[in-house]
Chains A and B, each alone.
Chain A
Amino acid sequence: MTATFALIGNPNTGKTSLFNELTGSYEYVGNWVGVTVEKKVGVLKDKSAQLVDLPGVYSLSPLSEDEGVATRFLLEEEYQGILNIVDASQLERNLYLTVQLLEYGKPLIIGLNMLDVAKSRGMEIDLSRLTTGLQVPIYPVIARKGTGCDQLSLALTQLKDKQEPLVLDYGKVLEEAIQQIGEKWTGKGLRWLALQFFEGNKMVREYLEAHIDPAFLQELYGETEKLVKAETGETSLPHWIRRVRSQWIKELCQEAVIHSAKKAVPFSEKIDHLVTHPLLGVPVFLLFMFLVFKMTFDWVGSPLSDILDGIITGPITTGLQWVLQAVGTSQFMQDLVLKGIVAGVGGVLVFVPQIFILFFFISLLEDSGYMARVAIVMDRVMEFFGLNGKAFIPMIIGFGCNVPGVMAARTIEQPGERLLTIILTPLMSCSARLSVYSLFVGAFFARNQAMVVFSLYFLGIGVALILARILSPFMNKGRASVFLVELPPYRFPKWLSLFRHTWEKGKGFVRKAGTYIFGGSVLIWLMSTTGPAGFQVRMTESYLAIIGGFISPLFSPLGFGTWQAGAALLTGFLAKEVVVSTMNILYMSGDMASLQGILVHAFTPLQAYSLMVFILLYIPCLATIAVIKKESGSAKWTWISIGISLVTAYLLTLVLYQVGLLLGIGT
């Protein structure tokens, strides 16, 4: 068994960058608190050990869901040592976590990051004094550039087996209380557990309660707090513990850090002047998003998609046809490949350029630090709807893909707000739905593509917010809404990591094309050529036409009561792109342009818009439903989420279509 090390540190300290440098893997790096929502494991470049990347935490006492991961790991998992990444420019705050880790007493090594930032703020750090004070090895690194990572990696493998726990003096009262727990606790790590318990660590409390009478613990806590408050004048027991540790850190820093007077006006402050401007903040954000859509559709994405479409339906299709005929395959196989797979998978792959451009901008938003500002700018609006500004981030991530969006809700502290965000994030228009819009706007709204798509994204947000307003009284049950967000300094993203990041997100889409959509296309094609009468039936007599026709009357009042639309909506539950694949197969069109030509005759613009609205809202895709179930931990809420989507989609589309008909718009 190889050795395992845990990588732990405060949020926004370059932890994931360091992880990537040490393990050489393409991990997700983001400048947003809570990017690492799950424990990730990588292997060191020299293959000597495993490194586990834990979510960023300020202390070991967890407050939100993702922070619990780190504490649970320390308590329950097998590992040989800890790599603690410390942000030198926020040394005192970062050392608070270090002290708790030192008290725990596992072998520990420090990677001291951002010394350059510290220097620019006028801080000079004396490494040898810091090492003497902390009694652990310290290695300076620049995680973003990879400087110093080799030495750190080597030192990690040579880490000693044992480390004496750090012992601070918490005063007579608390020391005696620790002894009292010691009389009941025979396991390891008494002092650390007792201190975490007195500091209010819920997870440690539960851990102790499994062995010690909860009533005894409760009484001891109350008694100790009373005595400590009387003796020290502190407002609470956790405050006193904090005070002792902070004092120790302060004294250490007075010796090891020299502050010079030099202080530049941070670049961040200048940008914040604009993007969090009282009046301009929201317009700046909307403008940014609008430009992103312009780039994705009008300026860059669509021309690239057209070129790709030309290649797939031109050289690739003819090439495949030639090969299939040359090797003498049957007509059935030729049809399956060309009319089923190429039409289905190719129809979706065409949208890869647009999706990658969108993912690029979402990555830019995360890596630059602007995301946290968006949270603060949007908080007032979100508060009105019963959520907080942080809930806006899962929603923006949901524009890329709903699955990571739902997962990103973990950083929300208040359970009711978190659940609400999980349920509503699937209403955000993801990149898969974008392929459906691209198809329809190209056919029906060629002149206003970006505007029409923007309206759909806006509609998704609007519906989510209104539902939040309706549902929040039931979910929050009087618990106050909570908002706090750390604003990291802006960092100009490294191109390489930005591209890696975009690829990490986008590759899922490509992979889906090769799996779900491939399988779905074969299935749909088979179902469209077989029927009760046997093989090779006319498409209108196929099984798919029968099933689609069976549910289509339901959609007549919404404007798309054809069996093709019914079938596409059914299969779209697998993944939204399958709607495009299905239509491509069912309308037997060779390429995007001719499909669009056919659609123009099959639908009116109003019907096309109704269908897009319905597809935006009607149901989370299969993968999203699975993640909602996992994140909410409840089948009930998963069903509620699905139910809300279906009902809202149906009613809204019904009203939209009928009102449109009355007014005679786009008929």
Chain B
Amino acid sequence: MTLTQIGKEKPARIINMELVTPVVRRRLLDMGIMEGTLVQLKRSLPFGGPCMIEAGGQWVGIRRSDADKIRVERV
């Protein structure tokens, strides 16, 4: 299951993000968002626009295509 599939406001744990664009993955890692981190999809913009995710109280905006590649599990 991916972060976009699980839906908004549903707590999820990241299990794999190897397919995410390398630069984005590195930056998420910098922010402490990696395998094992609890995240939530908060909002997404129309026409395949970016989405806002929240982890540990911090908010980040990433492209939908990257969020699609973050594999998560329900908690």
Contacts and interface: CB of A to CB of B under 8 A. Distances in A.
Contacts of B74: none
12 contacts: A58-B30, A239-B34, A276-B43, A279-B46, A379-B49, A389-B50, A389-B61, A413-B27, A482-B21, A482-B23, A485-B61, A487-B59
B32 A238 contact: no
B57 A90 contact: yes
Interface in B21-73: 21, 23-24, 26-32, 34-35, 42-50, 52, 56-63, 66
B57 A484 contact: no
Nearest to B49: A380
B56 A59 contact: no
B62 to A, nearest CB: 5
A552 to B, nearest CB: 47
Interface string B4-27: 000000000000001001011011
Given A272-B52, A376-B50, A380-B48, 7 more contacts: A63-B30, A279-B46, A376-B52, A379-B49, A380-B50, A483-B63, A486-B60
B21 A486 contact: no
A89 interface: yes
Contact of A380 (B30, B47, B52): B47
Interface in A249-296: 268-269, 272, 276, 278-279, 281
Contacts of A372: 61
B27 to A, nearest CB: 5
A480 interface: yes
A121 interface: yes
A379 B31 contact: no
Contacts of B27: 58, 63, 413, 484
A480 B26 CA distance: 15
A487 B60 contact: yes
A325 interface: no
A379 B56 contact: no
- Could you say which interface size class chain A belongs to? 35 or more
A483 B50 contact: yes
B58 to A, nearest CB: 6
Nearest to B20: A484
A494 B65 CA distance: 38
A93 B50 contact: no
Contacts of B46: 278-279, 380
Nearest to B26: A63
A373 B72 CA distance: 26
A281 B29 contact: no
B42 to A, nearest CB: 8
A96 B29 CA distance: 11
A89 to B, nearest CB: 7
Interface string A352-378: 000000000000000000001001110
Contacts of B28: 484
Given A63-B23, A414-B23, A380 B45 contact: yes
A485 B32 CA distance: 14
A92 B66 CA distance: 24
A377 B24 CA distance: 18
A281 B45 contact: yes
A242 interface: yes
Contact of B57 (A121, A278, A379, A380): A121
Contacts of B30: 58-59, 63, 96
Interface in A63-107: 63, 89-90, 92-93, 96
Contacts of B45: 276, 278, 281, 376-377, 379-380
Given A58-B30, A372-B61, A486-B58, A480 B21 contact: yes
Interface in A225-255: 235, 238-239, 242, 246
Nearest to B37: A246
A92 B32 contact: yes
Contacts of B43: 272, 276
A482 B21 CA distance: 8
| 10 cross-chain pairs, A with B, having the tightest CB-CB distances, nearest first | A58-B30, A380-B49, A487-B59, A376-B61, A93-B32, A278-B46, A485-B61, A379-B50, A482-B23, A483-B63
Contacts of A489: 59
Nearest to B55: A93
Given A63-B27, A480-B21, A487 B32 contact: no
A94 to B, nearest CB: 9
A412 B32 CA distance: 20
B34 A487 contact: no
A655 B69 CA distance: 46
Interface string A474-500: 000000101111110100000000000
Contacts of A279: 46
Contacts of A480: 21
Nearest to A482: B23
A184 B65 CA distance: 44
Given A63-B23, A279-B46, A413-B23, A238 B29 contact: yes
B29 A93 contact: no
A58 B31 contact: yes
A487 B44 CA distance: 14
A278 B50 CA distance: 11
Given A413-B23, A480-B21, A242 B29 contact: yes
Contact of B32 (A246, A377, A482): A246
Nearest to A485: B61
A484 B31 CA distance: 11
Nearest to A273: B43
A16 B23 CA distance: 26
A142 B46 CA distance: 39
A487 B52 CA distance: 9
Contact of A484 (B48, B49, B61): B61
Contacts of A121: 57
Nearest to A487: B59
A483 B23 CA distance: 9
B64 to A, nearest CB: 9
A276 B32 contact: no
Contacts of B56: 90, 92-93
A405 B31 CA distance: 26
B7 to A, nearest CB: 15
A377 B58 CA distance: 18
Interface centre among B26, B34, B35, B61, by most A CB within 10 Å? B61
Contacts of A380: 45-50
Contact of A90 (B21, B49, B50, B58): B58
